[in-house]
Amino acid sequence: MTGFLGAGKTTFINHIIKLHHHLKLALIENEFGEVSVDSQLVTGINGNQIFELSNGCICCTITNEFSLALTGLSEQLPDIDFLLIETTGVADLSQVIRPFYADNELTKRFLLTGAVCIVDAVNFGQMINLPPQQMQLIHSDYILINKAEDVSSETIAEISKSISAYNSSAKTEITNFAHTENFRLETAGSDIQEKMEKKLAAPVLFRIVESPRFTTFTHRFPGFIDLQKFQYWFDYFAAINQTDIFRIKGVLFPKGETTKTIVQSVGGATSYIEGSFIFPSEEIMNTLVFIGRSVDFERIVYELEDYLSEDENP
């Protein structure tokens, strides 16, 4: 759970805890300062299941502490259903997500189902100019536009359009007091994945979006692919381009499989999970979305298509 400063992250977490009283939850929360106060604001969860990381951001000064806390938590509470992580409002979300892809030990213990960003509709115009808030939007899977009742419908439409320029495949929802009846932890991952697949299947989204800071590029290519061959290229590409390309996500159609593959990359670390079934009447169109500071889309297309078209037995 991340979001703009004062957007309503703790309110959202309290709401989610109430909705999921039937589940065993644990919470890691992080804030600046020597003394944490957020734990006093969280209700409905056992104090022994709140792990505080203070005096720094999860993403930067205490990354090692963060990884150790995750490992220790899984050992101390082996039967929890879900772990919630609340970051500071200035956290680099990519560095919070990355360990779940890059650390082999953590991938055995946890399955990352998604990142939620809370947006402050009232102060969106000021906050969106700050790089940390832009990066939170880029790396999130589910975005809540909160405090909607305090702005006009025209403003909400403008905010939605702006968010789409940063992250066109994220699932979005309009809320007040961070209250949602649509978000369920048990189905969050599959819901987000389904929404992403549907958005990536819409041709209108396939364009290059450029701003002074970021470029979003979507590449589509037809036909079933050799997934292992693709992984060799993609893992290497994501690793060497991690400073310029912040996030990659997409849907692939592997040869000989009945389901699609969802691929994601954050900070050079990659993840592949099973997607939805491939229907006989479905268009076989692989899709990759690249979001970064400097995206040479012509080079990407050339490298990928040249590599995948190479003879299997040269």
Other beta carbons within 10 angstroms of residue 313's beta carbon come to: 4
Is residue 61 over pLDDT 60?
Answer: no
- Three-state DSSP at 19 gives helix
Cα–Cα dist 219/197, whole Å: 14
Cβ 265 vs Cβ 199: under 8 Å: no
Q: Domain spans of the chain?
A: 2-193, 201-308
Residue 80 CA to residue 57 CA, distance in Å, equals 24
Architecture of domain 2-193: 3-Layer(aba) Sandwich (3.40)
- Collapsing DSSP states into helix, strand and coil, what is residue 129? coil
The H-or-E segment that residue 270 falls in is strand 269-277
Query: CA 215, CA 148: separation in Å to the nearest integer?
Result: 28
State yes or no: pLDDT of 25 exceeds 80: yes
How far, CA to CA in Å, does 209 sit from each of 93, 206, 297?
22, 9, 11
The reported pLDDT for the residue numbered 103 is: 79
For 241-297, the pLDDT digits (tens) are 888 888 899 999 999 999 999 999 988 889 998 989 999 999 999 999 888 877 778
Token digits of residue 137: 């939007």
Binning pLDDT at 50, 70 and 90, where does residue 37 land? very low
Q: Which residues does residue 172 pair with via DSSP β-bridges, in sequence order?
A: 143
Q: What percent of the chain has pLDDT over 70?
A: 83
Whole-number pLDDT of residue 59: 58
pLDDT tens for 159-172 read: 999 998 888 888 89
Q: How far apart are CA 191 and CA 37, in angstroms?
A: 33
Quick: pLDDT tens for 78-100.
888 998 888 877 777 888 888 88
Q: Scan for tokens 């990066």, then name that residue.
A: 135
Q: Which pair of structure tokens corresponds to residue 101?
A: 């892809």
Q: How is residue 91 written in tokens?
A: 């956290």
What pLDDT score was predicted for residue 57? Answer: 57
Average pLDDT, the chain: 82
Q: Which CATH architecture has domain 201-308?
A: 2-Layer Sandwich (3.30)
Residue 207 has pLDDT above 80, yes or no: no
CA 203 remoteness from chain centre: 22
Residue 76: count of CB within 10 angstroms of its CB: 13
State the amino acid at position 156 in one-letter form.
I
Label residue 268 exposed, middle or buried (CB < 10 Å: 0-12, 13-18, 19+).
Answer: buried
What would the two tokens of residue 313 be?
A: 């037995």
32 phi, psi to nearest 5 deg = -75, 155
pLDDT for 140 equals: 92
DSSP string, 172-240: EEE-STT--SS--TTTHHHHHHHHHHHHHT-GGG-SEEE-SS-EEEEEEEES-B-HHHHHHHHHHHHHH
Question: Are the CB atoms for 265 and 249 separated by under 8 Å?
Answer: yes
How many Å apart are CA 110 and CA 113, to the nearest integer?
9
Strands 171-174, 142-146: parallel, antiparallel or unpaired by DSSP?
parallel
